[in-house]
Amino acid sequence: MQMADDYLSTAIVGESVRFAASSLDCPASIFCWIDPESRVDDYSTSGVSQSLMDEYMEGRYVHDPLNVHQIFAGDSDILFLGRERQRHPEEHNRRHDAFLRRYGVHDEVDFIFRDHGKPFALLAILNGPCDACFSSRLVNWDAMRDYLEFNLKMHPRVRQARQDRMLAFRFGLTPREIQVVDLLKNGASNMAIAQIMGIGLATVKTYVINILNKLGVENRAAIIAFLSRIQLP
């Protein structure tokens, strides 16, 4: 099951990135997963040096008109570097442009993907100095973003986050109880859960009893069956 999930995870992201890059004829891209606190949790690059993103995350983002730490707070889900430059100090733009030129990048368009209003991923497509600016292209940007978001919402990571939110808000499970549920779902024994979470065996048993009561089921197997039956919002 885990191997199947890993394959599905890789396929969903890979196919989504390839679709966007090929549609825009731009092989360079950066894909980021976003955690519940709207911070970059993990990222991968394609067609561009890994050092670009490493250097960016180490501090170059402060001059970026598309600052990855700030754009999630806005209400735009598609942002163009060319347009956002107009809202930032000239000195910041010059520094960021110089940084991009070192990596052969001329322009950028960012797609933000949300689930129930919360950002969960970002895809940046980058082009070279000979390409036309993204903002001037005749592309149905909204349709492209919606298609990509639909596909990415099938990712096990996104479905897991949706399940965890439901367990918290609908059934009142605490973060630690949700962690126990996730481990139970993956076949962990009480002893394994205790070791993974760094808690005592008695504490694990207490968590399991609380989970059973909150979900209204009778045993561990019923927890897994319950999770397979519930409809995620």
pLDDT digit string, tens, across residues 9-37: 678 888 999 999 999 998 799 999 998 88
Instruction: Report residue 27 as tokens.
Output: 């092989």
| Strand (E) or helix (H) holding 162 | helix 156-169
Mean pLDDT for the stretch of residues 105-120: 91
pLDDT digit string, tens, across residues 35-48: 888 888 888 888 88
CATH number of the domain at 2-154, please? 3.30.450.80
CATH number of the domain at 160-229, please? 1.10.10.10
Reported in sequence order, the residue ranges of 10-169 that DSSP labels E, i.e. its strands, are 28-34, 40-46, 78-80, 107-115, 118-127
Provide the pLDDT confidence category of residue 214 given band limits of 50, 70 and 90.
very high
179 near 188, Cβ under 8 Å?
no
- Can you give the residue ranges of every domain in the chain? 2-154, 160-229
